[in-house]
Structure 1
Amino acid sequence: MSRELPEGWTEAKLGELCRNDNDQVPVIPSTVYSLMGVRWYGNGTHLHAEMEGKKLATSSLNQVKAGQITYNKMWVSKSAFAVVPKEHDGLYATSEYPTFTIKSRTIISEYARYYMKIDEFREKAVQLCRGTTSRARLSPKDFLKLSIAIPPLLEQHRIVEILSSVDEAIASAKLFVEQARKVKKSTVESLLSNGIGHTQFKSTKIGSVPKSWKLKSIKDLCRLTNGNGFRPSDWTDRGLPIIRIQNLNGSRDFNYFSGNPKDKWIVEPGDLLFSWAGVRGVSFGPRLWDGPRGVLNQHIFKVHPHSEVNKFWLYFAMMLVTARIEAKAHGFKASLLHVHKSEITEQMVAVPPQAEQEEIVRHLDAMFETERLSMDYLIRLEAMRAALMPDLLTGRKRVFINKLAAE
């Protein structure tokens, strides 16, 4: 390593710590194999697929054991390294997911799992990848050339204990956010279908709605204008940020436009937008823009509510429209949606009077604030983990070891 190791730490190559488990078993055509994969996102290994041997493009597989180190050859640049958990013991792996058993008593597997996620390790692994940029892979032989900084075992256990506690808090926060979103979704559906305090209802082609509400199409409630198709030649490093689909999901990685924009391209903070091309449940549908003043890219509509329509109520109504469009999607379109304007504007919604629109918004605002606070807490936890990992795993910050308690 180029930097000095902390006192009491050592350095070793993975080849000194592990052995490559290359014990291949022959594939039997009639047998169904549960295949392991390694994600470049999320939490390491997973059940990738279940497939008959006759459909596999290989004549042999590796049977996976809990505690083994593994990685995805194709996604080294995304830190797709993992340690096999107990629940994946006995799965099978193709040669795209090499497996290694730790043979040294100087390192524990969970410490190795965390260490392989830091940028320092990933960057050195990427340097050893071979092949074209899009198909570069890290061979098992080169993987074993990589080095790990190793603290004493007691310190390893303490580091793992700290990082595991943060991971558990993150997992709990994610469950809370997921539950809050489910409650929010059902509440939005209820309030926009049943209103508040109604006792008389009527049947319509979109279901039962309060008797006093009117059925209208989206085109009766607003006007949609499309963004501009900014080309790479239009991009600059100054000017107005170009608002792309990824920016609707929180990314502040902008390209900029320094020319003279048309008024219809301009987006102000708080404007209602609708992404009509995007990933189901992720980037498709309505957004209230919470970023800076900018210009709108193609594949996103700016929504102009009519004077009698509350913008925030319309945002919730368009969430229901999005759910309907997504429910009808199938095949390739089930995940990546790309719809025509009419598929949005012809959608029917039940419209309450403006005063009730505002009352519904007040009810929903409190629920959305709960979700926002939960997301803020989750983001803070993830930022804390991102800062802790390199500090603890390189020894920039040392952990306290109570040796008397350990003994």
Structure 2
Amino acid sequence: MKADLNITFYKETNFKETPIGKIPEDWEIRRLDNIVTECKTGIPVKQQDRVRGPYPYFGANGIIDYVHDYIFDGEYVIVAQDGSIGAIHYFNGKFWANNHVWVIKTKSFVFPKFLYYVFKTLNWKRLATGSTRPKVTQQVLLRVDIQLPPFPEQRAIAHVLSTVDEAIQKTNEIIEKTKRLKKGLMQELLTKGIGHKEFKDTEIGRIPKEWEVVRLKEVILEAKPGFACGKRDENGVIQLRMDSIDTEGWINCKAYVKVPPPKNVREYLLKPGDILFNNTNSVDLIGKTAIFRGEFSECVYSNHLTRIRVNPVKTIPEWILYVLIRKWQLRIFRMLCHPHVHQAGINKGDLLNLKIPLPPLDEQSKIAKVILTVDKKLKTEIKRKKKLEQVKKALMDLLLTGKVRIKVK
């Protein structure tokens, strides 16, 4: 296997025991205070006192603003002191930082981006002290042991991991662009349709003249909440829950539990084309909606979800899906919900009486097909991102422990 640099990979066989575990024989362990020239905090500037400019202003969560001046210039690793314990950042250039981070500059024999990736593997919560507001102190930080390969290998490891990071970033950009495209298409097609020239004003806004405004209950066969179950059974039936529904209309196949099947389990079995509406969640997430597309051969759903089955004479599942997603994007369900302690709920009656636009069936299908094309592209890119993240995780485990070595030619 070869990368952009003239490097080769090989499996290491000679290890030695160290306080932080096994590492290759020719690696060494150094305390952080022996490998850095700077480890200091920044200077806070209140938001109202900041002057807008070109230089990043770092806090524990990363870049939180841009300001007109800088106090650091160079290649640094930035570590959250408190708040977002475990947040690690890398920056090369001029920037400002506040007092919630440690700004670290390495000595010449340590490649900064390598240290950044090593920091990503540490258990920072164990390094933090204090109960009210845990903090990573400078004293504790400088005592951390760091594994150090020869400098060329440090640089090569950082290069490989950075290459994967760049691929993840590019995929992220495609995902965000595709999300914007999907949202724009939904806004256009769910209100203007395809090829219409005449429109009318209605209680839900301006829509094509040929369309109707109906209540949800007029175009569906049922809206059935699921069942609650606090028990777990490894041999039980798969139950989808509120976190099984993502915000783009898909089922998260990794977010489920297995529960003992109730006596009336058949009443709650899902069929392809069933719509799942999230009736209980935080005010920001309530109303998430997805279509069950047969992801599992046998599957039920919890009481925090409502199963909607459409009347095929009047509508198609995809139309209802996209209409409900659009209403979630417009925060309609946030306004309809009834807040409880820590979460909120939407009454079945309010859901059934929800007013929606209804084009003719053939136009519903055409619109859904256009949006679904973009939807599939979005899902493909999200899958690609997850695979890249898995690759990165595996590479970090292999390269930062020396299980797999890099030889630089």
Which TM-score band applies after superposition, normalised by the shorter structure? 0.7 to 0.9
Looking at structure 2, the residues matched to 373 and 159 of structure 1 have their Cα atoms a distance apart, in angstroms, of 28
Q: 2:269 is matched by which residue type in structure 1?
A: I
Q: Find the aligned partners of 1:194 and 1:24 in 2 and give their Cα distance.
A: 52
Alpha carbons 1:189, 1:320 under 8 Å: kept: yes
The reply to whether residue 46 of structure 1 matches residue 63 of structure 2 is yes
2:285 is aligned with 1:286:
no
| 1:189 counterpart = 2:182 | no
8 Å CA contact 1:64, 1:93 repeated in 2? no
2:117 corresponds to which letter in structure 1? Y
**Greater Cα shift, 248-257 or 18-27:** 18-27
CA distance in 2, matches of 1:103, 1:177: 35
Question: Does the CA contact (< 8 Å) of 2:286 and 2:345 recur in 1?
Answer: no
Matched, 1:315 2:312: no
Paired residues of 2:39 and 2:105 also in contact (CA < 8 A): no
* AA matched with 2:325: M
Q: Is the 8 A contact 1:19 1:103 kept in 2?
A: yes
Question: Is the aligned partner of 1:300 residue 2:274?
Answer: no
The Cα of 1:81 is off from its aligned counterpart by: 3.0
Cα distance between partner residues in 1 of 2:260 and 2:134: 37
Partner residue in 1 for 2:158: 160
Q: Does 1:351 align with 2:355?
A: no
Residue 190 of structure 2 aligns with an amino acid whose one-letter code is: L
1:170 aligns with one of 165, 168, 171: 168
Q: List per-residue Cα deviations over 1:117-144 (Å, max 9, x = no partner).
A: 12xx32xx44444456x96554432233
Aligned to 2:249: none
User: Could you say which residue in structure 2 is the equivalent of 1:227?
Assistant: 226
CA distance in structure 1 between the partners assigned to 2:48 and 2:321 by the alignment: 53
Matches of 1:295 and 1:26 in 2, distance apart? 52
Deviates most, 340-349 or 184-193: 340-349
**Aligned partners of 2:79 and 2:89 also within 8 Å:** yes
What secondary structure does 1:394 align onto? coil
Q: Which residue of 2 aligns with 1:242?
A: 239
**Paired residues for 1:330-349 under 5 Å:** 338-349=345-356
Q: Provide structure 1 residue ranges, at least 5 long, that are not aligned to the other structure.
A: 40-44, 51-62, 403-407
Query: What is the rounded CA distance, in whole Å, between the counterparts of 2:154 and 2:369 in structure 1?
Result: 50
Q: Gapped runs of 5+ residues in structure 2?
A: 1-17, 247-251
Q: How far did 1:28 drift?
A: 9.8
Equivalent AA in structure 1 for residue 32 of structure 2: L
**Per-residue CA distance 1:13-60 (angstroms, 9 max, x = gap):** 223223674578799999569974323xxxxx232899xxxxxxxxxx
Question: Structure 2 CA distance, aligned partners of 1:371 and 1:27?
Answer: 39
Q: Judge conservation of contact 1:37–1:72 (CA < 8 Å) in 2.
A: no
Measure how far apart 1:329 and its partner are. 4.9
Worse overlay, 216-225 or 164-173: 216-225
- Report which structure shows greater RCO (CA 8 Å, sep ≥6): 2
Identical pairs, percent? 20
Distance 1:319 1:338 in 2: 17
- Count of aligned pairs: 370
CA apart distance, 1:213: 1.6
Cα 1:108–1:328, aligned 2, differ >3 Å: closer, same or farther?
A: same
Paired with 2:181 and 2:22, the residues of 1 have a C-alpha distance of 52
The whole-number CA distance in structure 1 between the counterparts of 2:43 and 2:289 is 51
SS of the aligned residue for 1:274 comes to strand
Q: Which residue identity lines up with residue 383 of structure 1 in the other structure?
A: Q
Inter-partner Cα distance in structure 2 for 1:165 and 1:26: 33
Q: Which residue of 1 is the match for residue 23 of structure 2?
A: 5
Task: Tell me which amino acid in the other structure corresponds to 2:304.
Answer: H
The correspondence for 2:278, drawn from 275, 279, 283, is 275
Deviation at 1:211, TM superposition (A): 2.1
Q: Residue 70 of structure 1 aligns with which residue? A: 79
- CA distance change for structure 1 residues 371 and 8 in 2, over 3 Å: closer, same or farther? same
Supply the distance in 1 between the matched residues of 2:43 and 2:191 (Cα, whole angstroms): 58
Q: CA deviation at 1:341?
A: 3.6
Which secondary structure state, in structure 2, belongs to the residue aligned with residue 237 of structure 1?
coil
Task: Please report the TM-score for the alignment, with normalisation by the length of structure 1.
Answer: 0.77
- Which residue in 2 is equivalent to 1:56? none
Task: Give the superposition deviation at 1:286.
Answer: 0.9
SS at match of 2:408: coil
| 1:115 CA drift (Å) | 1.0
The superposition leaves residues 245-272 of structure 1 with CA deviations (integer Å, 9 ceiling, x where unpaired) of: 1222326243321142534433345521
Please state whether the residue corresponding to 2:235 is helix, strand or coil.
coil
- Separation in 1, partners of 2:270, 2:361: 25
Distance 1:386 1:188 in 2: 35
Which amino acid counterpart does residue 59 of structure 2 have in structure 1? G
Displacement of 1:176: 0.9
Distance 1:348 1:26 in 2: 50
Q: 1:15 aligns with which of 4, 28, 33?
A: 33
Quote the residue 1:218 is aligned against.
Answer: 216
Give distance in 1, aligned partners of 2:316 and 2:180.
Answer: 24
The CA RMSD measured in Å over matched residues stands at 3.6
Q: 1:113 deviation in Å?
A: 0.8
Tell me the CA shift for residue 371 of structure 1.
Answer: 1.6
- Counterpart AA for 2:240: I
Structure with the higher helix share, 1 or 2: 1
Structure 2: distance between partners of 1:248 and 1:29: 37
